[in-house]
Structure 1
Amino acid sequence: MAILWAPAVAGAAGVAAAAAASATRRRIGRNGVAAAAVDEGGGKRRRQRLLDLVGRVPGAATNYFRSPWRRALFGGISLLGGFFVAQTISLSFGAVGVNDVIASALCVLLTEYMTRFYFTRQRPSLGVALLNNFKMGFTYGLFIDAFKLAS
């Protein structure tokens, strides 16, 4: 769908000819400009705008994370997020005193899986690197909590 703009007085004939072929509507604004929406797809259904937006997200994210400062910022946020999750898990399971062994086994399995997932890649992507930062923060948080409990 294309929008054709032309002054209403001088070039309205060109817009009218193009609009007559397959236009859906034509408007003339206050400033004397005529606009016509022309269907260029030959009547085929056009993709929805939401799909276009979702399709542009990976490219926009790649462009956003090209800056090393942004990569470092989100790496730090991921590290601190892992630390927070470790403190939360330690507090919740430690206070109740139920399923401590199961929770610790799941934490070790999750950490080992993340380590294997990171180091089997030739060149880890940004998401995998952020996951590894989360794992480091998680491990650090569990160690700090163990030192707090030992003292």
Structure 2
Amino acid sequence: MQNTRLNNLLDAIATRLGQWFLNPWRRLSLLIISFLFGFFLGNAVSTTAGQRAELDIVVAGFLVVLTEVTSRIFYSQSFFTRRSLFVDSLNLLKVGFTYSLFLEAFKLGS
């Protein structure tokens, strides 16, 4: 890419943001927010997808494919290597989403 002012500004912002999230407490807080957002997303998807009950199977299939792709991305790396913040937050988003769907299924089963 060309070395423009906009390109330099975006690179500087990305570098500073990456350095800001190197702090363990900030990283942990972002991961907790990602988990809670996944929980909210699972709750919202289960209520809106079941509203009309026409595309339940298609939505369920799409969500399974999405979670499997996320798992493939997360678990394809070695266990001992340090994962990026994006991959960690994506995995916790998936975990919160799956946990929320399990809780919704338990609520409907009782």
TM-score, normalising length: structure 2: 0.89
Structure 2 partner of 1:101: 57
Offset at 1:150? 0.8
Structure 2 partner of 1:49: 5
Q: How many residues align?
A: 105
* Cα deviation 1:81-111 (Å, max 9, x = unaligned): 1111111110011111111111111111111
**In structure 2, the residue corresponding to 1:98 is in which secondary structure?**
coil
| Identity, % of aligned positions | 37
d(CA) in 2 for partners of 1:106 and 1:87? 16
- Structure 1 residues not aligned, in runs of 5+: 1-46
Runs of 4+ residues over 4 Å off in structure 1: none
Matches within 5 A, 1:65-76: 65-76=21-32
Structure 2 partner of 1:83: 39
Which is strand-richer, 1 or 2?
1
TM-score, normalising length: structure 1: 0.66
- Structure 2 residues not aligned, in runs of 5+: none
Please, what is the CA RMSD of the aligned residues? Answer: 1.2
Offset at 1:58? 2.3
Structure 1 partner of 2:99: 140
* Cα deviation 1:43-73 (Å, max 9, x = unaligned): xxxx543222101122112210111110110
* Cα deviation 1:14-44 (Å, max 9, x = unaligned): xxxxxxxxxxxxxxxxxxxxxxxxxxxxxxx
Which is helix-richer, 1 or 2?
2
